[in-house]
Amino acid sequence: MKITFPAFLLGLVPVANAFVVPQQRRSVQKANFDAAVVDTTFLNRPAALSVTKLSAVVAPIDTKEFVQAKQVFPDAMTNDELIEFMTTTLRANGYDERKTLIATSLCCDEVNRPLENALSNTFDTNFNMGGLAGFPFGGATSFGAMASHIPDGGSCAVIYGPHVGIDSKGNVGTVERRGRKSGGACCGSAVAASGYVAGVLGGEEKASLPTSPLDAQQYFVGSMLMPFAERLESAEDRMKELPYALYDAQSDLMKRILAQSGSSVAGDGTTAVLGGIQINTPPGFTDYFLPLSFDLYNSDGKMVKKLLKTDVKPFPKVQDTFPGALTNDELVDKITAALKAKGYDETKTLVATSLCCDEVNRPLETELSEAFDTNFNMGGLAGFPFGGATSFGAMASHIPDGGDCVVVYGPHVGVSATGAVGTTERRGRVNGGACCGSAVAASGYVGGVFSGNDKEAEFPDDPLDAQQYFVGSMLMPYAERLERADDKMVELPYALYDAQSDLMQKIISKSAGAVGGDGKIAVLGGVQINTPPGYTDYYLPISFDLYDNKGALVDKIDL
């Protein structure tokens, strides 16, 4: 359903001005504006001057790189790089700059205008949804108004995010400012809110809900930052964590705005939403932007595509413990190439996974789905194929006509930021805990039984907790091997892999016949390795076998 906005909102510009050529865009550089070196005569020229002509008469936008920004935020892009990245990505998704309306939600602070100026040079002037600290305080109404200004047949792109300064000494949360001896906080609103939430966490009274707009925005910056008070308190560097917390708070508000007003985009128009952290630098240097998400929404306000690959940063500690492990990206590339060489056609391939319930295991499934369409899920606790022979048969009967299937299975194990195995940091939690939890619990159980301290659990006659019983009983044959291992937590996934391979073999022997025609069954087994948030996961391939639909092993596949 399209949301209708009152007529007065649909044109924020009075009707009388609707046919006037827009004000000239000034592609002005950053805050170190120096009248002596800038030719300002363009300000008096006829309004119809094109942007290309304008750029010839103004001083260039600061492009000098500021190394400290990359030291603190290694994946940050310069404003120029960001716009290049945006335009290429948007064009690849059917955008035409001439029919694209850019909306920004960046903090009031004048240090944030150079990014808007640079955007305007590519996409024409920006709609401004933002307020203090970069929150989209224009809200659902501002999005609806913006949507109703999109050129006919066009689309919109929203860019939002908090900002943070880095000064020439590398300090985070402050920056030198034009003509001032002391730069001060940057972002000031964010730093004030961070002080406020720390006070409340320490027992001070919460501010009361505002009844007038006099200072309502700052109240909301504080209240929306409140859920992140403890995270800020426990951060190694509070000033560096602050923009990430604000980004999370703003993403939440932006999603709610899209849920309410996303459908006000007309026709087949889409909404691309780029969120991240804007990084301000001292006068004379380019600013930076660290993209954290870039999502495409359809005109029903539904997210349809992720345009930014997140969590692709390598985590070298994985290879110290599991040499030969591949990043998810590398793995999926290798699987696709290897299967193609065996006559697979990805449009006719069904991928089945058997990976643990744990949410940290979904990114691999998402990547596999991008290559082969959505996955059939055979897996349960610890990654055992608990869907069993029946689930394999069902999966086989879903294979596109004339196609084949590939099964990816395995236990998982976390590696933490310190390199500890069997645990990993988890999103928004101070303590990560066991990973895989089911496996670690089963390992404790078999250890207890093996040492004679505990009795064997009874065979379950109820599904209430049957899976965990079977994880334990299938791990039991490996009890001695685990006890003798140098590092039980490293040995555990290998033991589970052996137990799971056994079950997978039995399933294939029983259900291979359900694959139609001369369809093939490729089975990849290994160990999935989870890493702290922000890093790519890994997978250590151990076996990759090709079966025919009689369950006979016909080939070993090299990755």
Q: Which is nearer to Zn ion, 109 or 367 (CB)?
A: 109
Peptide bond just before 436 cis, omega within 30 deg: yes
Spatial separation of the C-alpha atoms in residues 372 and 363, rounded to whole Å: 14
CB of 184 to Zn ion, least distance (A): 11
CB of 14 to Zn ion, least distance (A): 30
Nearest distance from residue 79's CB to Zn ion, in Å?
Answer: 17
Q: Are β-strands 326-327 and 303-306 bridged in parallel, bridged antiparallel, or unpaired? A: unpaired
For residues 459 and 484, what is the distance between their CA atoms, to the nearest angstrom? 27
Q: Which residues contact 76 (CB under 8 A, 6 or more apart)?
A: 69, 70, 277, 279, 288, 289, 290
Residue closer to Zn ion by CB (options 346, 498) is: 498
Closest C-alpha among 504, 328, 308, 502 to residue 409: 504
Comparison of 338 and 436: residue with beta carbon closer to Zn ion: 436
- Of 76 and 185, which has the nearer Cβ to Zn ion? 185
Nearer to Zn ion, 356 or 540 (CB): 356
CB of residue 243 to Zn ion, shortest distance in Å: 10
Give the 3-state secondary structure of residue 504. helix
CB of 497 to Zn ion, least distance (A): 13
CB nearer to Zn ion: pick between 242 and 436: 436
**330-337 own/partner pairs: CB under 8 Å, 24+ apart:** 331/364, 331/367, 331/538, 331/539, 331/541, 331/559, 332/367, 332/368, 332/370, 332/371, 334/559, 335/368, 335/371, 335/406, 335/408, 335/524, 335/559, 336/371
Nearer to Zn ion, 264 or 354 (CB): 354
Q: What's the min distance (Å) between Cβ of 107 and Zn ion?
A: 3
Q: Which residues bind Zn ion (CB under 5 A)?
A: 107, 109, 187, 189, 356, 358, 436, 438
Residue number, 258 or 325, with CB nearest to Zn ion: 325
Own/partner pairs, 359-362, CB within 8 angstroms, 24+ separation: 360/412, 360/414, 360/424, 360/426, 360/435, 360/530, 360/537, 361/412, 361/528, 361/530
CB of 95 vs Zn ion, minimal distance in Å: 29
Q: Which is nearer to Zn ion, 335 or 360 (CB)?
A: 360
Closest CA to 402 of 554, 516, 523: 516
The burial class, CB within 10 Å (0-12 / 13-18 / 19+), for 287 is buried
Closest separation in Å from C-beta 135 to Zn ion? 10
CB of residue 22 to Zn ion, shortest distance in Å = 27
Is the CB of residue 525 less than 8 Å from the CB of residue 497? yes
Find the shortest distance in angstroms from Cβ 382 to Zn ion: 5
DSSP state for residue 476 in the 8-state scheme:
G
Per-residue DSSP letter, 179: T
Closest CA to 161 of 278, 301, 44, 36: 278
Q: What length does the chain have?
A: 559
Question: Residue 216 contacts by C-beta under 8 Å, 6 or more apart in sequence?
Answer: 210
For Zn ion, the closer of residues 358 and 367 by Cβ is 358
